Structure 1
Amino acid sequence: MLLLGIDVGTSSIKVSVVDSETQKTIASAQYPDTESPITSVKPGWAEQSPEMWWEHVQHAIKKANATKAYNPADIAAIGIAYQMHGLVAVDKNQQALRDSIIWCDSRAVEIGNRAFKQIGEEKSLSKLLNSPGNFTASKLAWVKEHEPEIYKKIDKIMLPGDFISMKLTGSITTSNSALSEGIFWDFQTNSISDDILNCFGFDKSIIANVMSVFADHGHLTKQVADELSLKPGIPVSYKSGDQPNNALSLNVLNPGEVAATAGTSGVIYGVSDSVTYDKQSRVNTFAHVNHTGSNTRLGVLLCINGTGILNSWTKNNLAAGLDYNQMNKLGAKIPVGSEGLRVLPFGNGAERMLNNKIVGAHFGDLDLNLHTTAHIFRGVQEGIAFAFRYGLDIMRGIGINPTVIRAGKANMFLSDVFTEAFVNTTNVPVELYENDGSVGAALGAGIGSKIFSSEQEAFNNTTPLALIEPKTPGLYEPVYQSWKQLLDKHLKQS
């Protein structure tokens, strides 16, 4: 049987078709080829059209079908991974009422901070495991406060993956994991948080039917099936935010296991079987894909908004037509430490690990007589690695102490410069895998539809491509401390 995985990313939609017998990918497709637009009408704002996501999902599936590598009618289940923390609001006709306020939008920071104090900081942390911060609930509160006419029309709110599932099936569901990432979930009562509903004045009816991550979230409608050459009635049997899904794709399901990704944003994600949280809410704790009321599996997540997006900005604005591989080769010729150039990568909105401050991206100690674009290429990648180290030290403070980190050989981990800086700065080995969010979603669909007899069966054929171990941590440590001094300076000014 075949499994279809859909990854609703910020930059594009990717789909993969996986053979459940071998767990091998038969075909993959991405749409569009260029990055999807983000609307930012004010500094710190970021929105995307949910209908654009749906249009791109359909194009990507048709593109995969066009490979002729499989019979679309053989697809037995669908899984969805999606960009986390976004807000989608629909009316009674299942029409989006406004563009989605996505993960990197910073407009609701103060609303979340006020709610944190109103609910009570200790109460929020012990029950929600987080501050309401800049998450989905606070974004909905912003809509309620600033767009009351739109708010009055809301029938249901959802996360981005819930919207795509709705378009496929006509059914609106969500999960405890999705609600926890939106800061709607009370871990003490194992239910929707009354504290959040009462604080913001939300009616509970706007929350969709709550299912587990691995569940029957609806069945493909005939109209959509005919349009996409799929079989009517197949289930959407898995929905997960992109970072829990990335962990799933790397077989990170048990306590002590840790995953990392370095795409547009950067993430370290560790699984814990005990209730743990950062008192400053700089890292966040959500329900992992396999969390239940009786089986505690919490994902402790460090998210850095400004990581790969800085590398992308550097390529688009400073690389003069070079591709990433050429940039990496030039950067590799520069010594560790970029000969004094220090780069802060925080130019993509408020950073949770910096207490939701907007620090911005900065190039420090730029020497016009010494530094070249090659220095910048290396300095950017080192700065991103140092941001990971800064966040990992916070995670270590609440009991996440990885002995190895699993990552997909993709995005920034394609660069030897970055990978070596990451490993030596954190002093933790990295196992690299051939993984992909859409493949993880497909495997999740197999688990949710019980095509796999167990979670572990989905990873019977998963083996690492490489193990990268620290070799020169002593060389990177003084450079990191110098970088941290620059960050501390800007934190005091912000």
Structure 2
Amino acid sequence: MYFLGIDLGSSSIKLSVFEADKQKEICAITVPEFETKIDSPKMGWGEQNPNLWWEYIKDGIQQLKKKHGVVTENIKGIGIAYQMHGLVLVDSNLEPVRPAIIWCDGRAAEIGRQYYQLIGEEVCQSQILGSPGNFTASKLKWVQENQPEVFSKASYMMLPGDFIAAKLTGVAQTSTSGLSEAALWNFKENRPAIEILQAMGISDEVIPEVVETFGHHAKVDVTIAKQLGINNKAMVTYRAGDQPNNAMSLSALKPGEVVANAGTSAVVYAVTNTNAYDKNNKVNTFLHVNNSIEEKRNGVLLCVNGSGILYQWLRKLLSVGKKEMVSYELLNSMASQAKVGSKGLRFYPFGNGVERIFNNKEVNSGIENLNFNIHQPEDLVRAACEGIVFAMNYGFDVIKSIGVSGDIVKASHANLFLSPVFRSIFANTSQTALELYKTSGAEGAARGAAYGWGYFNTLEEAFSNLNIIEHIEPDLKLSKQYQDIYQNWKKHIKIQDNNYEYDNITSLL
């Protein structure tokens, strides 16, 4: 019995086939072969074509059959993980009326600030545990205000994963966890926060049917099933944002469990059984995948936009004039050749849209202390790794300050955590043990689909055979070194805390 996991990212889409009877992934692919483009019609905007996601997924399913021999008729359930906080507006035929406004798009940040003040900070914090910020609700209001002719064509708002589910099933739905990441979930009363939409002058009819994170959401449409070669009794049984899904993929389900991820963006995500929130909105609280009325489970999330995308930028930069792009493995090797602290070179990895830790302000990346006579390319690569970890640790400190933390951080052996240097910097800067696992968001989505379908009795059972690859303890000497370097790096971050401009860093470029 097979279950399909889809992990819809902004750079690529990963598909995993999980054989439940043997409790193992039998194959996985990534589509497209190249990194998906993010369109930016204006500075600070980020858009993608939702129908292009769908085309890639259809192609991926065909590749599973042709290249890996997967008998797709044996797929019983489908789980979908997706890039969070995006907005897909669809008409009555479930067709997009405009490009998706994705997570790194900062155009709605000012609207979020306005309604945070208008509704009231205390009201927002007690109900949605923060500000509308730059989340989906604010993006929805932006479209209503700036593109009324487009907004009038829309029947439903969806998160990216909801759109893919709708293309599979022909049914418009969203989830409780999805609404929480859209700033449209009332944590106090456990229901959609329609009062946020009311304050914005938007009808709550724009919210489609609300389903739980796990369950028999809808059957795959008969025509689509035939087109894809999937059993027409297969159904979508799970959906969640990529970061809650990543935590679940690492079996982080209990209070005190913490995970990290360094893909396109960098994330620290901690599970709690309280409605903890940061009054300054530098980190954000969402429903975790296993939240229930009986057992509260929330996830507190730190997100730094510039992570893998910074590494991608360095890769392009260092490939200029070469016949082929340098590999990420080469970048990792270069980082290992540089000394701890990168000879004083400091990298500030902010340059991919508005940053939550800066109250959703548009900030750019910066390099400090660059000396053409001292620094080599390997110093730049290592400084980038250090800067990404320092930014993650800055947010991790905020998570700890609101009473949410743990003794061990779990991560997939993927993306930047493939780099031994990056792993060492993380463990020694955070002063927390790091555990690596061989898993992925797509595999986690497939296991989640198996649980949502009813194959497993508990989520713990679905993830019971995860194997740890490596356990890394902080080194006393390195930890001291990195704490000193981190504190020097952080001095410039305090400028933003005091509401000064960040330009004195970006001007160093």
The TM-score with structure 2 as length reference comes to 0.95
> What do residues 444-471 of structure 1 show as CA deviations (whole Å, max 9, x unaligned)?
1011011112111111211211101111
Rate the CA distance shift 1:490–1:129 in 2: closer, same or farther, 3 A. Answer: closer
Amino acid at match of 1:95: E
Amino acid at match of 1:481: Q
Q: Which residue of 2 aligns with 1:349?
A: 353
User: In the aligned structure 2, how far is the partner of 1:412 from the partner of 1:358?
Assistant: 24
- Range 60-69 or range 437-446, more displaced: 60-69
The gaps in structure 1 that reach 5 residues or longer are none
Deviation at 1:23, TM superposition (A): 2.2
> What do residues 102-158 of structure 1 show as CA deviations (whole Å, max 9, x unaligned)?
000000000000000011001101110120000000000000000011111111111
User: In the aligned structure 2, how far is the partner of 1:290 from the partner of 1:446?
Assistant: 14
Q: Which residue of 1 aligns with 2:156?
A: 156
Q: Which residue of 1 aligns with 2:183?
A: 183
Deviation at 1:482, TM superposition (A): 1.3
Q: Which residue of 2 aligns with 1:72?
A: 72
> What do residues 347-367 of structure 1 show as CA deviations (whole Å, max 9, x unaligned)?
111110122122211110101
Q: Which residue of 2 aligns with 1:493?
A: 501
User: In the aligned structure 2, how far is the partner of 1:322 from the partner of 1:161?
Assistant: 32
Q: Which residue of 1 aligns with 2:290?
A: 290
Q: Which residue of 2 aligns with 1:147?
A: 147
Q: Does 1:307 align with 2:313?
A: no
User: In the aligned structure 2, how far is the partner of 1:148 from the partner of 1:358?
Assistant: 25
User: In the aligned structure 1, how far is the partner of 2:6 from the partner of 2:393?
Assistant: 31
State the Cα RMSD in Å: 1.2
Q: Does 1:477 align with 2:483?
A: yes
User: In the aligned structure 2, how far is the partner of 1:328 from the partner of 1:231?
Assistant: 43
User: In the aligned structure 2, how far is the partner of 1:444 from the partner of 1:431?
Assistant: 21
Deviation at 1:490, TM superposition (A): 6.5
Task: Give SS of 2:492's match.
Answer: helix
Q: Which residue of 1 aligns with 2:194?
A: 194
User: In the aligned structure 1, how far is the partner of 2:183 from the partner of 2:57?
Assistant: 27
Q: Does 1:325 align with 2:329?
A: yes
User: In the aligned structure 1, how far is the partner of 2:326 from the partner of 2:6?
Assistant: 30
Amino acid at match of 1:406: K
Task: Give SS of 1:465's match.
Answer: strand
Is contact 1:8-1:14 (8 Å) kept? yes
User: In the aligned structure 2, how far is the partner of 1:70 from the partner of 1:64?
Assistant: 6
User: In the aligned structure 2, how far is the partner of 1:419 from the partner of 1:322?
Assistant: 21
Task: Give SS of 2:29's match.
Answer: strand
Is contact 1:22-1:461 (8 Å) kept? no
Once the two structures are superposed, the pairs formed by residues 83-94 of structure 1 within 5 Å of their partners are 83-94=83-94
Query: 1:465 aligned to 466, 469, 480, which one?
Result: 469
Deviation at 1:422, TM superposition (A): 0.7
User: In the aligned structure 1, how far is the partner of 2:88 from the partner of 2:106?
Assistant: 16
> What do residues 416-460 of structure 1 show as CA deviations (whole Å, max 9, x unaligned)?
111111110000011000111110110010110111121111112
Q: Does 1:371 align with 2:370?
A: no
Q: Does 1:407 align with 2:415?
A: no
User: In the aligned structure 1, how far is the partner of 2:68 from the partner of 2:279?
Assistant: 52
The gaps in structure 2 that reach 5 residues or longer are 503-509
Deviation at 1:292, TM superposition (A): 2.0
User: In the aligned structure 1, how far is the partner of 2:390 from the partner of 2:131?
Assistant: 25
Task: Give SS of 2:218's match.
Answer: coil
Is contact 2:315-2:327 (8 Å) kept? yes
Amino acid at match of 1:327: L
Task: Give SS of 1:493's match.
Answer: coil
- Range 153-162 or range 326-335, more displaced: 326-335
Is contact 2:269-2:302 (8 Å) kept? yes
Is contact 2:109-2:361 (8 Å) kept? no
- Range 53-62 or range 15-24, more displaced: 15-24
User: In the aligned structure 1, how far is the partner of 2:102 from the partner of 2:368?
Assistant: 30
Amino acid at match of 2:336: A
> What do residues 250-295 of structure 1 show as CA deviations (whole Å, max 9, x unaligned)?
0011111111100000111111101110001110000111112332
Is contact 2:358-2:496 (8 Å) kept? no
User: In the aligned structure 2, how far is the partner of 1:359 from the partner of 1:36?
Assistant: 23
Deviation at 1:319, TM superposition (A): 4.6
- Range 191-200 or range 463-472, more displaced: 191-200
- Equivalent residues, number: 494
Q: Which residue of 1 aligns with 2:505?
A: none
Q: Which residue of 2 aligns with 1:454?
A: 458
User: In the aligned structure 2, how far is the partner of 1:422 from the partner of 1:370?
Assistant: 25
User: In the aligned structure 2, how far is the partner of 1:249 from the partner of 1:65?
Assistant: 25
Is contact 2:47-2:100 (8 Å) kept? yes
User: In the aligned structure 2, how far is the partner of 1:463 from the partner of 1:192?
Assistant: 37
